[in-house]
Structure 1
């Protein structure tokens, strides 16, 4: 579980990132969750955008992605979801205590 200070730090790092995944009208599926897990192992911090044609609630999508990947939900702002998961082999982000 992330503290408020850690979330603020991760939000500042994520500000300059571009979304690398998009959730469309098909919603979230197993293939997407697997791909996001692999991206999190490589990058630790990613953004996911929810497209306009997606009928599901963005907060439900964020929870589903966080649970499915074992990641921490950092932020949902507009239609952008920010996820963080500490990498086992490619650790680059050092969280404040």
Structure 2
């Protein structure tokens, strides 16, 4: 689970990214989830665009993407979903440490 500070950091990192996947009329499927897992392993942080013709609710699509890939849902803004999953082999992003109380 990401802290608020870590989510803020990841939102700032994702700001300049362009969406590399699109969810359209077909919705979320197994093939898409497999490709998303591969992309997350390579990049750790990705954006996914939900197209206007998608028949599912955007909140449901975002939750399905996060659950299906095992990633953290960083942000859902408009029709853009930001996902983060720490890579096992290609670690690039160093998250801020959670504050100790």
Question: What is the TM-score with the length of structure 2 in the denominator?
Answer: 0.95
C-alpha displacement at 1:87, in angstroms?
A: 0.1
Report the count of equivalent residues: 97
Matched, 1:57 2:57: yes
Name 1:73's counterpart in structure 2: 73
**SS at 2:95's partner residue?**
coil
Name 2:23's counterpart in structure 1: 23
Superposed CA offset, 1:12-54 (max 9, x none): 0000000000000000000000000000000000000000101
C-alpha displacement at 1:55, in angstroms?
A: 1.3
Matched, 1:43 2:61: no
Superposed CA offset, 1:60-86 (max 9, x none): 001001011000000000000000000
Alpha-carbon distance in 2 for matches of 1:79, 1:39: 19
Alpha-carbon distance in 2 for matches of 1:17, 1:86: 17
Question: What is the TM-score with the length of structure 1 in the denominator?
Answer: 0.99
Runs of 4+ in 1 over 2 A off after TM superposition: none
**SS at 2:54's partner residue?**
coil
Instruction: Structure 2: state its 5+ residue gaps.
Output: none
C-alpha displacement at 1:57, in angstroms?
A: 0.5
